[in-house]
Amino acid sequence: MLPAVVLIGLPALVALLLLAYSATRVSPQLKENQQRVAHTLEVIAAARSFDLAVGDAESAERGFIITGENSYLATYQQNTRAMSERLSRLRRLTNDNPDQQRGMLLIESATEGRLAEMQAGIDARQNQGFIQARKVLQTHLGTATRRVISGLVDSVITQENRVLKDRQARLADFQATNALVYKVSIGLVAVLFTLGVTLLWRGVQREKKSVSELRRSEERFRLLVSGVRDHAIFMLDADGKVASWNSGAQRVKGYKEPEIIGKDYAVFYPREERENGAPEAELRQAAESGSIETEGWRLRKDGSRFYARATLTALHAEDGSLRGFAKITRDVTERRAQEKALEESRAALAHAQKMESLGQLTGGMAHDFNNLLTVVIGSIDLVLRMPTTGEKATELLDAARQAGEQGASLVRRLLAFSRRQALAPQDVDVNRLVTNMSELLRRTLGESIVLETVLGGGVWRTLVDPNQLESALLNLAVNARDAMKEHGTLSIETGNTFLDERYADSHGEVTPGQYVVIAVSDTGTGMSPETVARAFEPFFTTKPEGKGTGLGLSQVHGFVKQSGGHVALYSDRGQGTTVKMYLPRNAGAAQAEELETGRHGNAQVVKDETVLLVEDEPLVRMYGSEALHELGYRVLEACDGHEAMRMLGQHPEVTLLFTDVGLPGGFNGRRLAEEARALVPSLKILFATGYARSAIVHNGVLESGVELLEKPYTIEALARKLQQMSAGRARA
Ligand SMILES: Nc1ncnc2c1ncn2[C@@H]1O[C@H](COP(=O)(O)OP(=O)(O)OP(=O)(O)O)[C@@H](O)[C@H]1O
Ligand SMILES: [Mg+2]
């Protein structure tokens, strides 16, 4: 660009210089030359007019001499005056030329002589008449003088003509040179100017091209960013206000561009994170270290949560000042849930494998001990039969036999855990079995503990060893008694259930299908999470030495597993315990009553309802949300009581609150239900819990009459419950 400007500027400068040069130098010279030529022409004209005046004076003189008329005399006088005037003018004009001056002297003297002759002729005619005058005339030099004068004038003219030619030639020369200089300069100016303009044009074209290329690359970049749909890509200014927004951001976070531009990005964070100052801290860290990776729960516009993984990068200007931030966020809720599910199923598998190997070990030992004890007890029996045995010896042998039998009972329980006991499965009606056992259980529990049995209607038959089932129930009852110490309630509930594939996948060694469930709940001390994790292990006990063997729950586990069932344990410290035994349905047996709709039950639900799902465990929340979606409900999610209350305030369309009983932060499901009802009296409330219903009721967590869904729940169970609730409401 610069050379082009120079190339255009230079010719302009040259043209200006030329103008200036012509104004100061060329024009005066030209003028002077022209003046000289004019002067020469003037000299020539003056010489000619002088010569003419001489001629005219001579003619008038002769006219007067011949006629004596005064008119000739007047003409003569006029012309002689003209002669002297023109002569003096000629002298003036030639006084710059020494050569001409010399000629002028000759002309003057010749003119003087001639004038004197003519005056003498005139005088003679006036005073002495024509004859005398003619005589005088004949003495005159006359025409000779006149020829001299003319000759002199001619030579002046000739000389001036020469000068004139010379000057004209010089003038022409000067003009020609001048014209050439102008032509060359103008040519040069034109070439430079054209070159400059060409360069300038090219520069402009280049600039245009680079601008359009820049625009194209900007367009490509914009398309790239806006085309990314699974990542939220947006910019923040230095204060954390949203400055740009892509379609991925709209998809992930739910805000449209005009709604969010200029808003503080802290709106994406849950309340607790905002209170902790997490958004500001992240900006600070990113500004300090350039870029940071973050992850955690974030909020969508509708208040629902998603698990985000994000990169926050600080953007600096060239001078180092902070311009803002670029944020790329990804919704990894599903992936995280899958990772967690995988982790959990791995843990479940590891646990199952551990139990399996423990089983093999204890099973092997128990087998050997069984054989040894058979020999010991058999031998003692044989000795006792001998008549020679004394009284003392019999007493000792009895004690030994008793100990041997205790050992054998231990070994049986070990075998039960190792799933190697000999089972005698029969078609069992669990309701009848529980009823028959009630008396024994009451005695086992003692007077201070209340036994309650809640037996489901139409409970399926199951194919198990009834003796082992009784042992299992007894073991559970003893554990419950030990946990309740002084007083409390033990409840045994029976019912039918379906464990679906999703449940089976997340719990190792479970086959999906129909099960009879027996839930044994107490209102005792409950267990710590560590105890829960190890409770089924053989020999794991928290009881003092000599009190517990740690084989009770392992018998339950081993027996149920060996029978093709599944055991689940729900317990929290201070909340009591529920152990659920799932025993496979004996499909071959005739059923007294068939109430269950089973997994393909035609569960009809009222659609167009919004459910607020409150659950602190993300995996369970995700499952619940999916189940509700599948049933046609709109779902909002909250992870604790505070958030649930906030969302209820924001979403008047919520008609049903589906909440877990045990929520974190001292804001449990019961309190949430109370506060929610106070806010929205018409709200339907459904609780979910892993505990059996009776345990929940007795622990004072819930008053009776509330709707309760037991975990693990299937989609069908949820659908039935929701249907019941809306039917009940319709009747009410
Ligand atoms: N209902 C319950 N309430 C609280 N803790 C329990 C309950 N059931 C079991 N536990 C805990 O689990 C541990 C293991 O129970 P398990 O029945 O296997 O053995 P135990 O009761 O200690 O001994 P055993 O039953 O062989 O006499 C117990 O020591 C106790 O800590
Ligand atoms: Mg026990």
Tell whether 114 is covered by a domain: yes
- Does the CB atom of residue 421 touch ligand 1 within 6 A? no
- Residue 676 shares a structural domain with residue 557: no
Taking the CB of residue 86, how many other CB atoms lie within 10 A of it?
Answer: 21
Task: Identify the nearest ligand to the CA of 577 by its number.
Answer: 1
- Does the CB atom of residue 479 touch ligand 1 within 6 A? yes
**Can you read off the two tokens belonging to residue 540?**
């794991």
- Does the CB atom of residue 488 touch ligand 1 within 6 A? no
Which residue reads 């829960």 in tokens?
Answer: 532
Query: Near ion ligand 2, which residues have CB within 5 Å?
Result: 479, 552
Instruction: Report which protein residue has its CA nearest ligand 1's atom 10.
Output: 479
In order of 323, 535, 646, 656, 687, the CA distances from 652 in angstroms are: 41, 45, 11, 11, 20
Phi, psi of 303 (to 5 degrees): 90, -10
Centroid of ligand 2 to alpha carbon of 548 (angstroms):
6
Which residue reads 């003209």 in tokens?
Answer: 82
Burial 471-504 (b: 16+ CB within 10 A, else e): bbbbbbbebbbbbbeeebbbbbbbbbbbbbebbe
Q: What is the total count of domains within the chain?
A: 5
Residue 456 DSSP class: P
Give the strand pairing for 684-689 and 305-316.
Answer: unpaired
**Can you read off the two tokens belonging to residue 653?**
């369309």
Cα–Cα distance between 508 and 504 in angstroms, integer?
Answer: 7
Please, are residues 692 and 483 in contact by the beta-carbon 8 Å criterion? no
Cα–Cα distance between 674 and 641 in angstroms, integer?
Answer: 11
- Residue 443 shares a structural domain with residue 366: no
Q: Which of 513, 663, 667, 674 is nearest to 582 (CA)?
A: 513
Please, are residues 426 and 463 in contact by the beta-carbon 8 Å criterion? yes
- C-alpha angle 7/12/14, rounded to 5°? 95
Tell whether 320 is covered by a domain: yes
- Does the CB atom of residue 521 touch ligand 1 within 6 A? no
- C-alpha angle 472/427/713, rounded to 5°? 65
- Does the CB atom of residue 578 touch ligand 1 within 6 A? no
- Residue 413 shares a structural domain with residue 437: no
- Residue 183 shares a structural domain with residue 87: yes
pTM equals 0.48
- Residue 371 shares a structural domain with residue 506: no
User: Tens digits of per-residue pLDDT, 667-714?
Assistant: 888 889 889 988 988 888 898 877 666 666 655 555 545 688 877 677
- Does the CB atom of residue 174 touch ligand 1 within 6 A? no
Centroid of ligand 1 to alpha carbon of 527 (angstroms):
9
User: Which atom number of ligand 1 is nearest to the Cα of residue 550?
Assistant: 19
Tell whether 459 is covered by a domain: yes
Ligand 1 pocket test: pick from 479, 536, 560 the residue with the most ligand atoms within 8 Å of its Cβ: 479
Task: Identify the nearest ligand to the CA of 534 by its number.
Answer: 1
Backbone torsion region of residue 316, taken as left when φ is above 0, otherwise alpha when ψ lies between -120 and 50, otherwise beta: beta
Instruction: Report which protein residue has its CA nearest ligand 1's atom 8.
Output: 479
Instruction: Report which protein residue has its CA nearest ligand 1's atom 6.
Output: 479
Centroid of ligand 1 to alpha carbon of 669 (angstroms):
28
Domain boundary at 417, 438, 460, which?
417
- Residue 370 shares a structural domain with residue 460: no
Task: Identify the nearest ligand to the CA of 542 by its number.
Answer: 1
Give the strand pairing for 462-464 and 426-428.
Answer: antiparallel
Q: Which of 595, 632, 611 is nearest to 688 (CA)?
A: 611
- Residue 408 shares a structural domain with residue 365: yes
- Residue 235 shares a structural domain with residue 305: yes
Tell whether 508 is covered by a domain: yes
Cα–Cα distance between 50 and 87 in angstroms, integer?
Answer: 6
What CATH number does the domain containing 153 carry?
1.20.120.1730
Domain span holding position 304:
231-331
User: Which atom number of ligand 1 is nearest to the Cα of residue 555?
Assistant: 18
Amino acid, res. 251: R
Centroid of ligand 2 to alpha carbon of 151 (angstroms):
169
What CATH number does the domain containing 475 carry?
3.30.565.10
**Residue 268: predicted pLDDT:** 94
Cα–Cα distance between 618 and 615 in angstroms, integer?
Answer: 7
**Can you read off the two tokens belonging to residue 433?**
């079995």
Tell whether 589 is covered by a domain: no
Cα–Cα distance between 672 and 669 in angstroms, integer?
Answer: 5
Instruction: Report which protein residue has its CA nearest ligand 1's atom 29.
Output: 541
Q: Which stretches of the chain score pLDDT less than 70?
A: 1-3, 140-143, 419-420, 422, 508, 589-607, 691-706, 712, 728-732
- Does the CB atom of residue 483 touch ligand 1 within 6 A? yes
Q: Which of 518, 546, 519, 548 is nearest to 531 (CA)?
A: 548
For 373, counting Cβ atoms within 10 Å of its Cβ (0-12 exposed, 13-18 middle, 19+ buried), the class is buried
User: Which atom number of ligand 1 is nearest to the Cα of residue 540?
Assistant: 14
DSSP lists the bridge partners of residue 132 as: none
Please, are residues 311 and 321 in contact by the beta-carbon 8 Å criterion? no
- Residue 413 shares a structural domain with residue 442: no
Taking the CB of residue 28, how many other CB atoms lie within 10 A of it?
Answer: 11
Instruction: Report which protein residue has its CA nearest ligand 1's atom 9.
Output: 479
Cα–Cα distance between 605 and 631 in angstroms, integer?
Answer: 7
